[in-house]
Amino acid sequence: MRGIVIWGFGSAMAFLVTAGAFLVLANLSNSLPARSVDPKPAPPNSTPPLGLELSEARLEELEKSSGQILPLTVKNAGESTFSDISLTMRVTSEDTAQPGVRYYRATIKNLAAGRSKTVQFKLDLSSTESSEEPQTPPDAPEPRTILEVQAVTPEGISAIKTAVLPL
Amino acid sequence: MLTLFAIATLVVGCAHLDEITPISPSPVGQRPTDFGLGPGVRPLSSGPGDKGSPGWSPSGERLAFVVDGYVVEKRTNESKARRQTTQDFGAKRVAWMTSGERLTILAQGSSPSDDPLQSVYRADLDDSLSVNKLASEVVAMSPITGGDGLLVASQTSPSSSQLAVIGPNGSIRAYGDVIEGDITAISVVPDGDRAIVAVRRLDPEQNFEILSFSFAENRFRTVTSLRQDLQIFGAPQWTENGIYYVAGEETVSSKEVSPDYNLYRLAPGSNRPDLAPGVGEDFVASSLKRNSKGDLLAVVGRRNSSSPANLYVLNPDVGEFVAATTNENMEIKTEAKDLAWSSDDRRVAIVARTMISEPRVYDVQADTLVSDFYNVYEVPIDKIAGEDPS
């Protein structure tokens, strides 16, 4: 019986000492000066390993019709070759009630470090609305066209570019 | 001894809890310091979609608005919005019931087979997307202050309309006589005992009239008749200094260059409108909405026909007219339904997007962009209005 009491007392003491030690440590950290939790800014000279470039001059020339050619330049700014870079171009309307989303896909097999490659996308930028059943009310503002392009490597490195067109 | 040590450390360890500083909620989308509408203005939505008809919940913590014909609801400090109707619902306007747990939606079916007239629906705030139809052939609606009732104007025939109140349980009670003409907009005065009604008469002159309807007396009184070439835009707004409204000459298309719409005031007891004092003769008004007490008016308009649209606040009591935004390159929506006061009268919601003439390219997803698409912005009013409502 006495052994049980001693064992219980010892356990309680061990628990209290451990809890106390943790609280002392936690209290030490509170003495550090308070700081706002702002997101850590990117180092000034850091460049993402994968870069995308859309020609703004070409974007300005795009029209709201099919057969529009848009070059996309992919740059490997990393230190090793990327293989099987998957490119997805998504063309949507600003009108989120319009069901029409057009996808265009391409793959770059190999892109050595420091090198760039340009892929030509042939886009259909004509309206996705059915001519018989317009979804947009006549008094609604003209929806803009959105081009979203994403590049992803098998290693999970990705880059994104979005263009908003006044079309 | 050990016990004392442990208790002492527990006390010391808990002594600094009050020094913990809360971290502000994460902002919505892109977060430059100025979104093109001036300091202090912050977005309440982000991403693509033609937003409109914003409405604050009675608690001020939630916001509902229409996006491309469907209704969404969200907490004001979160980016995630919950859809409350199907995507093809054809919603035009949304308003909160006073309880803050339901929405009323004015909608017109979007397919050709749907009823061309609008209906009013009630939606519970859940994920079911189900709605209850309360009334059909509705041309205007206005929440009634201090209850879960809704005042609607229904078309009773192609040439007549009538007011009705939809109760919290969905019951409908017609009010007043049938009016010969189209009721175009209605608003309820702050104490809820009267409604101000804009009517387009269908007689040969087809002029607009402003009527006052007393719920207690169940009858209309004509406040004024407008000149034949003028039409009223939005609902006339009651204040203690008179009834204010926007009127101008009719245009063929709303997409034409904005003509000279003026902000008028009908002084109490007068049937002769004058230009609203304090706003300036060159001011081009687009829409207005009073606050809950009726002592301030939010007005969207331009200082003159060549200046950009801004949100202004008019204090009719002293004639003070102050710009709440400093817009240079934003298209601010100019319909009255796109203007909303918060229930504490400290903020006004407007809808705007950047004017663009050439492509804009970003390194982020479209869902996080704000100013490129019509989004809802919160404009702080309490400081510029020169008073603290609290």
Indicate yes or no: CB of A97 within 8 angstroms of CB of B70. Answer: yes
Q: Which residue has the higher pLDDT, B321 or A18?
A: B321
- pLDDT bracket for residue A44 (50, 70, 90): low
Over residues A112-123, mean pLDDT: 95
Segment among A74-78, B121-125, B361-365 with least mean pLDDT: B121-125
| Dihedrals phi, psi of A138, to nearest 5 degrees | -60, -30
Is the pLDDT higher at A3 or at B172? Answer: B172
CA closest to A10 among chain B residues:
B2
Q: How far apart are CA B270 and CA B283, in angstroms?
A: 23
The predicted model gives B176-193 an average pLDDT of 92
Rounded mean pLDDT of B205-234?
92
Global confidence as pTM: 0.81
Nearest to B50 among A19, A20, A143 (CB): A143
Which residues of A lie closer than 8 Å to B, measured between beta carbons? 13, 16-17, 19-21, 23-24, 26-27, 30, 34, 37, 54, 56, 59-60, 62, 92-98, 133, 135, 137, 139-141, 143-144, 146, 148, 159-166
For chain B, the average pLDDT equals 86
Q: Which helix (H) or strand (E) holds A18?
A: helix A2-30
**pLDDT, position B3:** 54
Q: φ and ψ at A47, to 5 degrees?
A: -120, 135
Res. B79 pLDDT band, cuts 50 70 90: confident
pLDDT tier, B15 (very low <50, low <70, confident <90, very high otherwise): very low
Q: How far is A164 from chain B (nearest CA, A)?
A: 5
pLDDT at B119 over 80: yes
Residue of B nearest to A163 (CA): B361
Instruction: Output the pLDDT for position B364.
Output: 94
Q: Please write the tens of the pLDDT for every residue from B266-297.
A: 999 999 999 999 999 999 999 999 999 999 99
Between chains, do B360 and A161 touch, taking CB under 8 Å as contact?
no
Instruction: Convert chain B into a string of H (helix), E (strand) and C (coil).
Output: CHHHHHHHHHHHHHCCHHHCCCCCCCCCCCCCCCCCCCCCCEECCCCCCCEEEEEECCCCCEEEEEECCEEEEEECCCCCEEECCCCCCCEEEEEECCCCCEEEEEECCCCCCCCCCEEEEEEECCCCCCEEEEEEEEEEEEECCCCCCEEEEEEEECCEEEEEEECCCCCEEEEEEEEECEEEEEEECCCCCEEEEEEECCCCCCCEEEEEEECCCCEEEEEEECCCCEEEEEEEEEECCEEEEEEEECCCCCCCCCCCCEEEEECCCCCCCEECCCCCCCCEEEEEEECCCCCCEEEEEECCCCCCEEEEEEECCCCEEEECCCCCCEEECCCHHHCEECCCCCEEEEEEEECCCCCEEECCCHHHCCCCCCEEEEEECCCCCCCCCC
Percent pLDDT > 70 in chain A is 77
What one-letter code names the amino acid at B192?
Answer: G
Give the mean model confidence (pLDDT) for residues A148-163. 95
pLDDT of residue B17: 39
Give the integer Cα–Cα distance in Å for B290 and B236.
Answer: 9
CA A132 vs CA A99, B117, B191: distances in Å: 15, 21, 48
Checking if the pLDDT of A30 tops 70, the result is no
A13–B67: do the CB atoms touch at under 8 Å? Answer: no
Interval A100-112 mean pLDDT: 94
Where is pLDDT greater, at B20 or A88? A88
When CB atoms are compared, the residue of A19, A94, A140 closest to B373 is: A94
